[in-house]
Amino acid sequence: MVKLLDFWAPWCGPCKVMAPVLEELEKELTGKIEIEKINVDENQAKAAEHGVMSIPTYIVLKDGKEIGRKIGVTVKTDLLKLLQS
């Protein structure tokens, strides 16, 4: 199973911009990918574990291994490409 880690924070403007894009992806790819939203304020250890230095950061895991990463506001098509790599 492919997993998308979404590192965000409630005060992050770019994260708010990306929220509807992630909701669309979640609906379109139900059963194909799992999206895990990680609030960096509440889960600093997980952010550190993945080397997240800025948000939003999106990390794609396949079988527990990182296969892709995108930082900052991005378009849905780029996230889809990242998920299909």
Catalytic residue list? 12, 15
Do the beta carbons of residue 6 and residue 39 sit within 8 Å?
Answer: no
Q: Rounded CA gap, 5 and 64, in Å?
A: 11
- From residue 79, alpha-carbon distances to 17, 19, 69 in Å are 14, 13, 9
Q: In what order do the strands lie in the sheet with 57-62?
A: 33-39, 2-8, 57-62, 65-71
